[in-house]
């Protein structure tokens, strides 16, 4: 975690688990998204306010590798490890780390693109917000 640029703490809720008590795989994607939105706020951007200004960051692709299971009531840290920029795309490398033993439960590579007034575009606002991380 020391190499991450942003950490978000959360506790697994029981309704996010399947019949075996393991977090359903789709919820990992939710955790990653919450973390990215919180990271945006630390960079001075609010996802919903951007939308009202005609700027939308949209997910283009998600790759998640599952390594260890999270279970109900467990605490974890969701991270943004690094951000890359390729043209008009931003690529977020993220991890979910179980707090009780420090094991990496999953890692993700999330590719996003920006829409400006409904068209693919390159908003300078993200370049400025992420300047310290890219």
Contacts of range 98-103, beta carbons closer than 8 Å, 24 or more positions apart: 98/68, 98/70, 98/74, 99/9, 99/74, 99/75, 100/74, 100/75, 103/67, 103/68
Query: Cα separation of 51 and 55, whole Å?
Result: 5
Is 14 part of the annotated catalytic residue set? no
Candidates 14, 18, 81, 127; catalytic one: 18
> Checking DSSP bridges between strand 119-121 and strand 89-98, what pairing results, if any?
unpaired
Phi-psi category of residue 33: left, alpha or beta, with phi > 0 → left and psi -120 to 50 → alpha: alpha
Annotated active-site positions, please?
A: 18
């Amino acid at each position: 975690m020391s190499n991450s640029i942003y950490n978000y703490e959360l506790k697994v809720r029981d309704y996010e688990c399947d019949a075996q008590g393991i977090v359903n795989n789709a919820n990992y994607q939710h955790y990653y998204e919450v973390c990215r939105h919180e990271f945006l706020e630390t960079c001075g951007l609010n996802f919903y306010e951007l939308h009202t200004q005609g700027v939308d960051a949209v997910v283009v692709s998600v790759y998640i590798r599952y390594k260890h299971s999270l279970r109900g009531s467990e605490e974890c840290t969701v991270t943004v490890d690094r951000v890359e920029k390729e043209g008009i795309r931003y690529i977020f490398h993220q991890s979910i780390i179980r707090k009780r033993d420090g094991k990496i439960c999953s890692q993700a590579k999330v590719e996003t693109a920006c829409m400006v007034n409904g068209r693919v575009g390159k908003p300078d606002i993200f370049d400025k917000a992420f300047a310290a991380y890219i």
